[in-house]
Amino acid sequence: MKIIITGATGLIGKSLCENLINRGDEITIFTRNIEKAKESLTGIKNFVEWDYTKPDKWENEICGKNAVIHLAGTNLFAKRWNKNFKNEILKSREISTKNLAEAICQCENKPASLIVASGINYYGDCGEKTINESNNAGDDFLSQVCKVWEEQATKVESCSVRHVSIRTGIVLSTKEGALKQMLLPFKLFIGGPLGNGKQWFPWIHLEDLVNAYIYSLDNEKIKGAVNGVSPDLVRMSDFTNTLGKILRRPSFLKVPSFVLKLAIGEFAESITMSLKALPEKLEQNNFRFRYSNLYSALKDLLK
């Protein structure tokens, strides 16, 4: 397949590119910095300089491809949230997806699929309620970002192009992300849950998430929203207890929500949300998780 990928230099993008190249797909990378992308992505020959606000510079590259996978968006952790940065987070997702969708629909030889990253925060804080892809969006900032993001992606359906939005949970990897950040406190014997520990913690092993992207790419029956989370429902305290057990470290030192908010601001509310999310659509379409159990996932990553 001929596939365009944005956001390829991120954690998910790099692993996804490696897997697609290994199976023989032809990848074109849309990137703001071609030289930097070439350094971090090996085995790829096609790079296009991509400014998402200037579609006239790149829209012709989309025609004739089989699929577009859109992972790019301003890093939520890049700065402390304020009004300007929150606007940047929103626009980087809304406008880039809008312009990609319009470019796809303008092609005579259109890609068959647009697969877009979204977030499990789409649902907002759901407490003890079990949620699947049919639940509505929440009303907090990240929920509305995800909603707008997905609405722009859905527009390709009007020109008979399949759309998938993968609502990603906490991606477990020792290379980047939440798990990497949590390892140091545990190694220093000061590990423990964030917030009260009772909130549901929607996680997924990086390998399973990448496989879910490829499965969604190949399976035409998968359409619309997809929860990119493990079927193993755990609370934050379950997660940290399991992590402590594997590392042979204590896991009882909680980081109160107010301390998190002092440290990182408004984003702390999103980190401590309770999301009891199930990957119903993946399971209905017979996707097989390699790491459907938290202990096996952490054991693999920390071996």
Question: Tell me: the pLDDT tens digits for 38-85?
Answer: 999 988 999 999 999 999 999 999 999 999 999 999 998 888 899 999
SS3 state at 78: coil
For helices 236-247 and 294-301, the axis angle rounded to 10 degrees is: 40
In which band, very low, low, confident or very high, does the pLDDT at 301 lie, cut at 50, 70 and 90? very high
Assess whether pLDDT exceeds 80 at residue 262. no
pLDDT value at 290 more than 90: yes
pLDDT reported for residue 177: 86
Mean of pLDDT values over 139-162 = 97
- pLDDT value for 67: 98
Percent above pLDDT 90 for the chain: 85
The average pLDDT across 257-268 equals 75
Predicted pLDDT of residue 161: 98
For the residues of 222-252, what is the DSSP string, one character each? --EEEEES-S---BHHHHHHHHHHHHT----
Q: Would you identify the CATH topology of the domain 2-171+204-230+276-290?
A: Rossmann fold (3.40.50)
User: Is a pLDDT exceeding 80 seen at residue 117?
Assistant: yes
pLDDT in tens, 212-258: 999 999 999 999 999 999 999 999 999 999 999 999 999 988 888 77
CB 125 within 8 A of CB 138: yes
Query: What is the average pLDDT value for the chain, to the nearest integer?
Result: 95
User: Is the model's pLDDT at 129 over the cut of 90?
Assistant: yes
Report how far residue 144's alpha carbon sits from residue 122's, in angstroms, rounded to the nearest whole number.
7
Ranges of each domain in the chain? 2-171+204-230+276-290
Report the Cα 235 to chain-centroid distance in Å: 20
Q: Flag whether the pTM goes above 0.85.
A: yes
Of the pLDDT bands very low, low, confident and very high (cuts 50, 70, 90), residue 132 is very high
Distance CA 299, CA 295 (A): 6
- Angstrom distance (rounded) from CA 126 to CA 119: 14
3-class DSSP assignment, residue 74:
coil
Are the C-beta atoms of residues 47 and 29 closer than 8 Å to each other? yes
Q: What's the rounded mean pLDDT across residues 264-275? A: 83
What average pLDDT does this structure show over 181-195?
90
Confidence of residue 269 (pLDDT cuts 50, 70, 90): confident
